Structure 1
Amino acid sequence: MRTLLLLSAYFGLLSETSAASIPAVKPFTVNLSSRVPHMLDLIGRTALPAAELAAAHSSLNMSLTTGMPLDTLKSLQNEWVTSFNWTREEEQINTYNHFTTQIGHQTVHFIHEKSKVPNAIPLILLHGWPGSFLEMVHLLDQLMLSNSSQAFDIVVPSLPGFGFSSPAPNEWSTSDTATLFNTLMIQVLGYKSYAVHGTDWGSVVGFDMYDQFNNTVKAAHFNFLPFFSLTPEQLTDQGIALTAAEAIQEQRAMDFENSGIGYYMEQATTVNTVGLALYDNPLGQLSWIAEKFIIWSDPRRGTGPSIVTNNEILRHVSMYYLTQTFDSAAFIYAQNPTGKGFLYTYRRARTNQPLLFSNFQWNMLFYPERLVATIGNLVYYNSVEFGGHFPALENPPALADDIRMIGKYFRS
Structure 2
Amino acid sequence: MTCTDDRIEPFTPHTEEAELEDLRARLAVARLPERETVRGTGPERWAQGVPLDVLAEVLEHWRTGHDWREAEARLAAVDQYLVPLDGLRIHALHRPSPRPDATPLLLTHGWPGSIIEFVHLVDELAEPADPGEPAFHVVVPSLPGFGYSDKPFGTGWGTERIAAAWARLMEALGHRRFLAHGGDWGGVISTILAARFPDQMIGLHTTVAQPPPWLSLEGLDAEGREWVRRSQDFWSHHAAYAKIQAAQPQTVGYSLVDSPVGLLAWILDKFAAWSDTRDSPFETIDRDRLLDNVTLYWLTRSGASAARIYAESHDSLDPDLRVDVPTAITTYPRDIERWPRPWAQERYRRIVRWEEPDAGGHFPSLERPEFFLRDLRASLAAVLAADQSRST
Q: Shared fold by TM > 0.5?
A: yes
Post-superposition CA distance 1:263-319 (Å, at most 9, x none) = 01100001111101332100110000111011101106445xx4x122222111111
The DSSP-based 3-state class of the residue aligned with 1:143 is helix
Change in 2 beyond 3 A, CA 1:280/1:44: same
Change in 2 beyond 3 A, CA 1:393/1:227: farther
Aligned to 1:18: none
Instruction: Say whether 1:205 aligns with 2:189.
Output: yes
Aligned to 1:196: 180
Q: CA deviation at 1:328?
A: 0.3
TM-score by length of 1: 0.85
Aligned to 1:104: 86
Post-superposition CA distance 1:338-361 (Å, at most 9, x none) = 2x24x7x5x451x52101100111
Alignment RMSD, CA only? 2.5
Runs (5+) with no aligned partner, structure 2 = none
Change in 2 beyond 3 A, CA 1:279/1:395: same
Runs (5+) with no aligned partner, structure 1 = 1-9, 13-21
Q: 1:236 aligns with which of 210, 217, 228?
A: 217
Supply the distance in 1 between the matched residues of 2:343 and 2:96 (Cα, whole angstroms).
35
Aligned to 1:275: 253
Contact 1:121-1:153 within 8 A present in 2 as well: yes
Instruction: Say whether 1:153 aligns with 2:168.
Output: no
Change in 2 beyond 3 A, CA 1:57/1:251: farther
Aligned to 1:87: 69
The alignment covers a number of residue pairs equal to: 377
Q: 2:203 aligns with which of 219, 237, 249?
A: 219
Supply the distance in 2 between the matched residues of 1:408 and 1:118 (Cα, whole angstroms).
19
The DSSP-based 3-state class of the residue aligned with 2:222 is coil
Map 1:46-65 onto structure 2 (within 5 A).
Answer: 46-55=30-39, 58=42, 64-65=46-47
Supply the distance in 1 between the matched residues of 2:162 and 2:380 (Cα, whole angstroms).
23
Post-superposition CA distance 1:233-291 (Å, at most 9, x none) = x6523x11133xx6665554344223211101100001111101332100110000111
Post-superposition CA distance 1:137-181 (Å, at most 9, x none) = 233344232316111110000000000111223122211111111
Q: 2:342 aligns with which of 366, 370, 393?
A: 370
Change in 2 beyond 3 A, CA 1:130/1:229: farther
Aligned to 2:262: 284
Contact 2:227-2:339 within 8 A present in 1 as well: no
Contact 2:39-2:45 within 8 A present in 1 as well: no
Supply the distance in 1 between the matched residues of 2:38 and 2:383 (Cα, whole angstroms).
52
Identity among equivalent pairs (%): 29
Q: CA deviation at 1:49?
A: 2.8
Supply the distance in 2 between the matched residues of 1:270 and 1:46 (Cα, whole angstroms).
25
Instruction: Say whether 1:178 aligns with 2:163.
Output: yes
Change in 2 beyond 3 A, CA 1:143/1:389: same
TM-score by length of 2: 0.89
Supply the distance in 2 between the matched residues of 1:263 and 1:227 (Cα, whole angstroms).
22
